Structure 1
């Protein structure tokens, strides 16, 4: 179990008790108002991220290389979704840890991210192999006209 799930509610309870002890019920009302405001700010941010992600295809990112450069360890999944403005394509089973998601760009490069308890632990960038069409491209020597030859 994540220690953060215990410490935050206990810390908020201690803050409310300290407000009651120092300022009585008006102090509790002020601290409770601050806590509610904090919760509403987080809820509003989550809803705006999800609204932006809803307008894009699942698993799409503008540039997988830029996403790879911006990622840092221990970043929450919500922050990665905010960076990509897209929900990731789920590769792992639902409800299992680690959660694995993939974001792909237009050039078929993709970033695969692994999240444990909602936090990014590792990621990898995969770029497509370059095609061997270089031999089929005309070279300047094949297009150059030889002196004395005329084209009509």
Structure 2
């Protein structure tokens, strides 16, 4: 179980209690307003990310190499969707950990990301065109043909 699911609501309840203890119902109203504002900010960000993601094909990213360079461990799935502006193509079974998603660019390079409990744990970049070219164009082969 994720501790954030327990700690954040308990922290908010303690904050409301302290506000009531200090200022009465006016304190509860002030802290409650701050909590509602915080929730609305998160909801607005989520809706903005999803609206932008809906405007692109699923699993598409402008550059897989740039996405690979920007990824960091322990970022959440919403952060990655915000970076790519696209929902990833799901490769794992629904509801099972780890969740595996793939984003592909126009050159068929792709980044496969693995999320455990909604957090990025590892990712791999695959560039199929680069692997084929490296095997065919060896400098020694070119020199022998001349």
Normalising by structure 1, we get a TM-score of: 0.86
Choose from 129, 132, 139 the match for 1:130. Answer: 132
Whole-Å separation in 2 of the counterparts to 1:61 and 1:107: 10
RMSD (Å), alpha carbons: 1.6
Structure 2: 5+ residue stretches without partners: 138-146
Instruction: Write the deviation string for residues 85-122 of structure 1: whole angstroms up to 9, x where unpaired.
Output: 00000000000000000000001100000000100000
Whole-Å separation in 1 of the counterparts to 2:43 and 2:76: 15
**Aligned pairs (5 A) from 1:98-109:** 98-109=98-109
Partner SS, residue 41 of structure 2:
helix
**Aligned pairs (5 A) from 1:12-91:** 12-91=12-91
Post-superposition shift, 1:133? 7.5
Post-superposition shift, 1:130? 3.0
Larger Rg: 1
Moved over 2 A (4+): 129-134
1:117 pairs with 2:111 = no
Whole-Å separation in 2 of the counterparts to 1:133 and 1:108: 19
How many corresponding residue pairs? 136
Q: Which has the higher helix share?
A: 2
Partner SS, residue 24 of structure 2:
helix
